[in-house]
Structure 1
Amino acid sequence: MWADLATIGRNADSGGYRRYAWTGADADCRTWFQEQAEARGLTCETDRNGNQWAWLGDPSAGDAAVTGSHLDSVPDGGAFDGPLGVVSSFAALDELRRRGATFTKPFAITNFGDEEGARFGLACVGSRLTAGRLTKAQAYELRDGDGVSLPQAMEATGYDPDAIGPDPERLARIGAFVELHVEQGRALDLSGDPVGIASAIWPHGRWRFDFRGEANHAGTTRLADRRDPMLTYAETVLAARREAELAGAVATFGKVSVEPNGVNAIPSLVRGWLDSRAPEQSALDVVTAAIEAAAREHAERNGIDLTVVRESFTPVVEFEHALRDELGKILGGRAPLLGTGAGHDAGILSESIPTAMLFVRNPTGVSHSPAEYAAEDDCLAGVIALADVLEGLACS
Structure 2
Amino acid sequence: MTASELLAEIADVGRDARRGGYSRHAFDAPEHDLRTWFVERAQQVGLDVETDRNGNLWAWWGAPGANAVVTGSHLDSVPGGGAFDGPLGVVSALAAVEALQAKGFRPAKPFAVVVFAEEEGGRFGVPCLGSRLLTGTIDADRARALRDPSGVTFAEAAAKAGLDVDRVGADPDRLGLIGQFLELHVEQGRGLIDLGSPVAVGSTVIAHGRWRFSFAGQGNHAGATLLADRVDPMLPAAETVVAARQLARKLSDARATVGRLVPTPGGTNVIASTVDLWLDARVPGTSTPQLVEEITQAARAAAEAEGCELAVTRESYSDDVVFDDALRRSLGEWLGNPPELPTGAGHDAAILAGFVPSGMLYVRNPTGISHAPEEFAEADDVEAGARALAEVLERLAR
What residue in structure 2 maps to residue 23 of structure 1? 28
Match of 1:274, SS?
A: strand
Matched, 1:234 2:221: no
2:17 and 2:124 map into 1 onto residues whose CA distance is 24
2:169 and 2:297 map into 1 onto residues whose CA distance is 37
Matched, 1:342 2:345: yes
Deviation at 1:13, TM superposition (A): 4.0
Ranges in structure 1 where 5+ consecutive residues have no aligned partner: none
Alignment equivalent of 1:310, drawn from 311, 314, 338: 314
Matched, 1:245 2:218: no
What residue in structure 1 maps to residue 222 of structure 2? 218
Matched, 1:103 2:107: yes
Alignment equivalent of 2:274, drawn from 238, 245, 269: 269
What residue in structure 2 maps to residue 373 of structure 1? 376
Q: Could you tell me whether the CA contact under 8 Å between 2:54 and 2:163 is conserved in 1?
A: no
Q: 1:99 to 1:186 in 2, by over 3 A?
A: same
What residue in structure 1 maps to residue 3 of structure 2? none
What residue in structure 1 maps to residue 195 of structure 2? 191
Per-residue deviation, residues 108-146 of structure 1 (Å, max 9, x unmatched):
111001111111111111111110111221112111111
Matched, 1:168 2:172: yes
Alignment equivalent of 1:91, drawn from 95, 110, 114: 95
1:375 and 1:32 map into 2 onto residues whose CA distance is 23
Deviation at 1:253, TM superposition (A): 0.7
2:47 and 2:310 map into 1 onto residues whose CA distance is 52
Alignment equivalent of 1:201, drawn from 188, 205, 208: 205
Matched, 1:384 2:365: no
Matching residue's letter, 1:3: A
Matching residue's letter, 1:123: P
Matching residue's letter, 2:274: L
Match of 2:258, SS?
A: strand
Alignment equivalent of 1:10, drawn from 8, 12, 15: 15
CA RMSD between the two structures = 1.1
Matching residue's letter, 1:365: G
2:175 and 2:215 map into 1 onto residues whose CA distance is 41
Ranges in structure 2 where 5+ consecutive residues have no aligned partner: 1-5
What residue in structure 1 maps to residue 158 of structure 2? 154
Listed as ranges, the matches of 1:271-290 within 5 Å are 271-282=276-287, 284-290=288-294
Deviation at 1:168, TM superposition (A): 1.1
Deviation at 1:281, TM superposition (A): 1.5
1:253 and 1:104 map into 2 onto residues whose CA distance is 47
Match of 2:249, SS?
A: helix
What residue in structure 1 maps to residue 357 of structure 2? 354
Q: Could you tell me whether the CA contact under 8 Å between 1:247 and 1:286 is conserved in 2?
A: no
Q: TM-score, normalised by structure 1?
A: 0.97
Match of 1:281, SS?
A: coil
Per-residue deviation, residues 324-365 of structure 1 (Å, max 9, x unmatched):
1111111121x1111111111111111111110000011111
Per-residue deviation, residues 353-385 of structure 1 (Å, max 9, x unmatched):
111000001111111111110111111110111
Listed as ranges, the matches of 1:66-77 within 5 Å are 66-77=70-81
Deviating more after overlay: 91-100 vs 349-358: 91-100
Deviation at 1:98, TM superposition (A): 2.8
1:347 and 1:315 map into 2 onto residues whose CA distance is 10
Per-residue deviation, residues 9-60 of structure 1 (Å, max 9, x unmatched):
1123443111111111111111111011110011111111110011012212
Q: 1:189 to 1:168 in 2, by over 3 A?
A: same
Match of 2:118, SS?
A: coil
1:247 and 1:121 map into 2 onto residues whose CA distance is 26
Deviating more after overlay: 158-167 vs 352-361: 158-167
Matched, 1:47 2:57: no
- The percentage of counterpart residues that share the same residue type is 53
- Count matched residues: 392
Deviation at 1:102, TM superposition (A): 3.1
Match of 2:238, SS?
A: helix
Deviating more after overlay: 151-160 vs 346-355: 151-160
